[in-house]
Chain A
Amino acid sequence: MANYSDSPLDQAFAALSEPSRRAMLLRLARESELTVGELARDLPIKLPTVLKHLNVLSEAGLVHREKQGRTVRVRLNAEPLKAAAEWLAPYERFWTQSLDRLVEVAEAMEAAKTVRGQ
């Protein structure tokens, strides 16, 4: 359930935490626009579940839905994703790469010590 006290960024993160919803977003990123039926077709989940996920994505502002006659067309709105990525990316990148380097340096130092017979 969406929590309306959450910030837009929180809602985006919560929406992204579910694999089916990520799959839907990636699909929408590839195709500019899809009907709900088209979106549901390639997913291993039933239509009502797809609709529930779409509600979550819509509340998080990640998709736009537009009713055209009897079909509903869905488009990606990546603006909240951009905010989420911009906010988190520096920390993830910083620590992942720093620690990878730390591991390399520590292991090289240890190997050198061993060679010197310490």
Chain B
Amino acid sequence: MTSLTLVRHIRAQPSTVFDLLSTAQGLTCWWGPDDLPVLSAEADVRIGGAYRVRFRTADGLEHECAGEFLDVAPVQRIVMTWRWMSGGVPEEKDRVSRVEMHVRPEGAGTELTLIHGDLHDAESEASHRWGWGGALDKLCGRWAVAD
């Protein structure tokens, strides 16, 4: 299984960070790959509770992801399932991945670690590394032009 891990060092208290992760209102402040407002967010943040977020990307397309909370430990971590939705139903029934967000005090601030795991299709150790991302983009860009 492939996983993606990202770490951020934040000049804010863990409780501030956790609130942004654990409330629907908080999620709407940052969720989504482009600097666009979230279209809707629902989150019943408790173990077994569901969430659903709809957002738009810069290409004008709307996306929706949803899942349920597997673990909620205030000011420490949130673990949830993730699946892409289309018209309210899962796009691919079996493609459920897992998102872990770990919040840890770090000096006067917070270290946030995000792990998006159980990503399917590419299981090689190599894909855990992200150093080649830029090169890959470049190559694909050139390929698109050449084609």
Binds B, one of A41-49, A64-72, A99-107: A99-107
Residues of B within 8 A of A90 (CB): 33
- Residues from chain B with a CB closer than 8 A to the CB of A104 are 30
**Cβ–Cβ contact A7 & B29, under 8 A:** no
CA distance A105 to B129 in the complex (A): 27
A91 with B139: CB separation less than 8 A: no
Which of A91, A96, A106 makes the CB contact (< 8 A) with B12?
A106
Q: Is B4 positioned at the interface, with any CB of A under 8 Å from its CB?
A: yes
B140 touches A78 (CB 8 A): yes
Determine whether A4 belongs to the interface, using a CB cutoff of 8 Å to chain B.
no
Q: Does B127 contact A (CB under 8 A)?
A: yes
Given contacts A16-B135, A29-B143, A101-B35, contact A95 B119 (CB under 8 A): no
**CB-nearest residue of chain A relative to B7?**
A99
* A105 to chain B: closest residue by CB: B29
Question: Out of B8, B124, B139, B140, which one reaches A6, CB within 8 Å?
Answer: B124
In-complex Cβ contact of B32 among A92, A97, A103 (8 A): A97
Which B4-58 residues have a C-beta within 8 angstroms of A? 4, 6, 8, 10-13, 16-17, 20-21, 29-35
Contact with B along A72-111 (1 / 0, CB 8 A): 0000101001101101111111111111111111110110
Q: Mark B116-136, 1 if CB is under 8 A from A, else 0.
A: 100101111111011011011
Task: Decide if B92 is an interface residue (CB 8 Å cutoff).
Answer: no
**Contacts between chains A and B (CB distance < 8 A), count:** 131
A10 at the interface (CB under 8 A from B): yes
Q: A25-B135, A99-B8, A109-B12 known; A10 and B122 CB under 8 Å?
A: yes
Q: Does A26 contact B (CB under 8 A)?
A: yes
> What are 16 A-B pairs with beta-carbon distances under 8 A?
A7-B122, A10-B122, A10-B123, A10-B124, A14-B124, A17-B126, A78-B146, A91-B116, A96-B6, A99-B30, A100-B8, A101-B29, A102-B30, A103-B10, A103-B112, A107-B11
Beyond A17-B124, A17-B126, A102-B10, list 8 extra A-B contacts (CB 8 Å).
A6-B123, A88-B127, A91-B119, A98-B32, A100-B8, A101-B29, A106-B16, A109-B20
Residues on B facing A (Cβ under 8 Å): 4, 6, 8, 10-13, 16-17, 20-21, 29-35, 110, 112, 114, 116, 119, 121-127, 129-130, 132-133, 135-140, 142-143, 146
> A-B pairs with the 5 shortest C-beta distances?
A17-B126, A78-B143, A110-B12, A102-B30, A106-B12
